[in-house]
Structure 1
Amino acid sequence: MSSLPRVRVAAAHAAPVLLDKTATTEKAVALIEEAARHGAQVIAFPETYIPAFPVWAALWAPIYNHDLFEAMVENSLVVPGPEVARIAAAARRHGVCVSIGISERSTVSAGCIWNSNLLIGEDGTLLNHHRKLVPTFYEKLVWSPGDGQGLRVADTRFGRIGGLICGENTNPLARFALMAQGEQIHVSSWPPMWPTRKPAGDGRNFDNVAANRIRASAHSFEAKAFGIVCASFMDKAMRDFLVGRDPSVAEIVDQTPRGVSMFIDPTGMPVGDTQQNEEGIAYADFDLNRCIEPKQFHDVVGYYNRFDVFSLGVERRRHTPVAWSGTEQADFPHILDEDAVLARQA
């Protein structure tokens, strides 16, 4: 009889403190503490929970959003940095694994940011650092493309944990790359809403709730893994900020479906709690032994594949703007001795 772990998991269906990285970090720490008190061992947060998801990029042309982009950059996190250290300390203090979405700030550019996700272990170590491969639709106005460095599954005491951000869960090759590493728990992170059109009542608007449920169920069914679906929540403060800036967007904001946080079992069926229209923490219990039996039917990274026909290569190098050559590095800044310089010139 197999003895894989039984794990209690949580999805923080929570709103950030809009564009305030310090306050949102403190809220995340409080949510980690609350979930841990309720027995959660793996705790997931939404897409770019810190400092917020830039819904405004869907509502207004970029020429009207310069101040919001500057605020987003200013409140994006450096990895490693003080905010990440606070979350890591909370994970270590409570002995839990934390998956959290952040907007990440570059250390070599004043304005480059990425849509990133961090997986932090129960000892406070950074297990994985993933940058979203391709910003989706209007996200391209905010974030730079990531790379494959974070396409990894972490082997933890609570199971083999992987994850993808929002639209990446529609990328079959990214998903297969995680399946092929023995993924048992898949974290998918999502925004609070995904407006694509003005409400028209003709059924042409994108139904993000149905789409996310299909994507999460498809991945769990194909991977034979459990799924944590964690969406952000739009609270009154965020709604009032957007509508207060431009009252004409009220109809879009109010009639676009809110994201759903839920859990999926290895057959693709929902389990545990579901959260949508209220802020809170959803919980579920995963028995990872249930990942085994479905592999008899279709194991797409085992017998139900043709490795002589299909192959996949993944480039994991982290992108950097410059590749330096040479073995000697100058140690700057120097304190120059004027007398010594003059003596050498004499």
Structure 2
Amino acid sequence: MNKITKYKVALMHVAPVFLDTSKTIDKVCNLIDEAAKSGAKLIVFPETFVPAFPIWSALRAPIYNHKWFKLLAAQTIQINGPEIKRVAEYAKKNSVFVSLGINESANQSVGCIWNSNVLLSSDGNLINHHRKLVPTFWEKLVWANGDGAGLRVCDTEIGRIGALICGENFNPLARFSMIAQGEQVHISTYPPVWPAYDPKESSLWSVADGIKIRAGAHALEAKVFNLACAAYMDKTMLDMLADGDKEAARILLDSPRGVSLIMDPMGRVISEIMQDSEGILYSEIDLSLCVEAKQLHDLSGYYNRFDIFQLKVNRTSNCPAIFIDGDSTYDNIDTEGRREEQE
């Protein structure tokens, strides 16, 4: 495999077509075309970009959010569905890698939703599928726990690429599982806004500061390029979420926004920082910088004590049941948590 060490990346600090999967996929494909024409080789979309991040769970008591859950469930996609196939076609057409956040469903349940990230290769193949390990705080009202099947770093012609979703970047063991696989490019994805408190009662919480701290820590510890991509909240999204409620609108307007930025292996910001405007964030990266940085601290190599510290990672997929029919044997679980029949 011929390795490309210097190339352009594109982070999509943009808004989905809120709760409309078909139109959001249209936007994804158009943005892939645009970024590819600008020379990008790796294109990153935010957390659960297709078709929405469930911010409504932070605004109202659960008993008032049933309609939102049903709307989202109706717009989820499956990993082998036509939406992913279409995005894969655009990745192949443009010879680019694409990281995309989705709300995922599967055949086991009409009401189970995962916060998932997929990585598509430049030849249109799905090379990784990760479900967020643990939904954070009020996210638990919408998403199910994921599993470790997608805790993988993919060895590609543009480097060794890993990804964690939002609060997973707080988890030192999840991050070390990426480091231990020789990660060079780390993708970290975030929502457009994340109310943790009523903004009139607390000014201590900053989503932007949290993203910068986490991105810098992993870039510096892993000696990787960290591509931190947050979504953008447009007026349509805000109005739909507020749903005529002035208090909900106030919280959304005053709560801290997410930011998008790119850091190098020494934890330095090498791009502009996008927060209050919608757009595409571009930057050139050079993977050779990861090598020199490893001379200082190589946590997957010499700068560790594997005789003292050991990490075990279970990468099997969760599966609700095992079914054995007739003479068929089932000994493999795919990344959707389903059994595959083996001849």
Q: TM-score range by the shorter chain?
A: over 0.9
Q: Look at both structures and tell me which one has the larger radius of gyration over its CA atoms.
A: 1
Name 2:170's counterpart in structure 1: 170
- Is the 8 Å Cα contact of residues 128 and 150 (structure 2) preserved in structure 1? yes
**Superposed, which structure 2 residues align to 1:89-104 within 5 Å?**
89-104=89-104
Amino acid at match of 1:289: S
Amino acid at match of 2:127: L
Q: State TM-score, norm by structure 2.
A: 0.93
1:279 aligns with 2:278: yes
Cα deviation digits, residues 137-170 of structure 1 (max 9, x gap): 1000000000000000111111111000000001
Cα RMSD, aligned residues only: 1.4
Whole-angstrom CA distance in 1 between matches of 2:278 and 2:226: 20
- Identity of paired residues, percent? 51
**3-state SS of 1:271 partner:** coil
**3-state SS of 1:270 partner:** coil
Offset of 1:107 from its aligned partner?
A: 1.1
Query: CA 1:75–1:227 in 2, change beyond 3 Å: closer, same or farther?
Result: same
**3-state SS of 2:140 partner:** helix
**Superposed, which structure 2 residues align to 1:218-237 within 5 Å?**
218-237=217-236
1:149 aligns with 2:149: yes
Name 2:310's counterpart in structure 1: 311
Q: State TM-score, norm by structure 1.
A: 0.92
- Is the 8 Å Cα contact of residues 47 and 190 (structure 1) preserved in structure 2? yes
Whole-angstrom CA distance in 1 between matches of 2:73 and 2:185: 31
1:242 aligns with 2:241: yes
Name 1:108's counterpart in structure 2: 108
Offset of 1:197 from its aligned partner?
A: 1.1
- Is the 8 Å Cα contact of residues 239 and 249 (structure 2) preserved in structure 1? no
Whole-angstrom CA distance in 2 between matches of 1:24 and 1:87: 11
Uncovered stretches (5+) of structure 2, i.e. residues with no partner: 329-343
Cα deviation digits, residues 147-204 of structure 1 (max 9, x gap): 0000001111111110000000011111101111111000000000010111136533
- Is the 8 Å Cα contact of residues 48 and 115 (structure 1) preserved in structure 2? yes
Cα deviation digits, residues 282-313 of structure 1 (max 9, x gap): 00100000001111111111111001001011
Whole-angstrom CA distance in 1 between matches of 2:216 and 2:116: 23
Whole-angstrom CA distance in 2 between matches of 1:133 and 1:281: 28
**3-state SS of 2:272 partner:** strand
**3-state SS of 2:7 partner:** strand
- Is the 8 Å Cα contact of residues 97 and 121 (structure 1) preserved in structure 2? yes
Offset of 1:275 from its aligned partner?
A: 1.3
**3-state SS of 1:286 partner:** strand
- Is the 8 Å Cα contact of residues 208 and 259 (structure 2) preserved in structure 1? yes
Offset of 1:278 from its aligned partner?
A: 0.8
Name 1:208's counterpart in structure 2: 207
1:76 aligns with 2:76: yes
**3-state SS of 1:41 partner:** strand
Amino acid at match of 1:303: Y
Whole-angstrom CA distance in 2 between matches of 1:173 and 1:58: 27
Offset of 1:264 from its aligned partner?
A: 0.5
Whole-angstrom CA distance in 2 between matches of 1:247 and 1:54: 19
Offset of 1:324 from its aligned partner?
A: 2.2
Amino acid at match of 1:307: F
Whole-angstrom CA distance in 2 between matches of 1:150 and 1:41: 22
Name 1:195's counterpart in structure 2: 195
Amino acid at match of 1:319: N
Offset of 1:4 from its aligned partner?
A: 5.9
Name 2:35's counterpart in structure 1: 35
- Is the 8 Å Cα contact of residues 162 and 186 (structure 2) preserved in structure 1? yes
**3-state SS of 2:68 partner:** helix
**Superposed, which structure 2 residues align to 1:313-332 within 5 Å?**
313-325=312-324, 327-328=326-327
- Is the 8 Å Cα contact of residues 162 and 183 (structure 2) preserved in structure 1? yes
Offset of 1:235 from its aligned partner?
A: 0.4
Offset of 1:61 from its aligned partner?
A: 1.1
Whole-angstrom CA distance in 2 between matches of 1:185 and 1:199: 34
Cα deviation digits, residues 99-142 of structure 1 (max 9, x gap): 00000012110100100000000000001000000001100000
Amino acid at match of 2:295: Q
Whole-angstrom CA distance in 2 between matches of 1:300 and 1:245: 51
Amino acid at match of 2:48: T
Deviates more, 1:250-259 or 1:318-327: 318-327
How many matched pairs? 327
Whole-angstrom CA distance in 1 between matches of 2:4 and 2:310: 29
Name 1:258's counterpart in structure 2: 257
- Is the 8 Å Cα contact of residues 4 and 289 (structure 1) preserved in structure 2? no
Query: CA 1:90–1:4 in 2, change beyond 3 Å: closer, same or farther?
Result: closer
Amino acid at match of 2:11: A
Name 1:288's counterpart in structure 2: 287
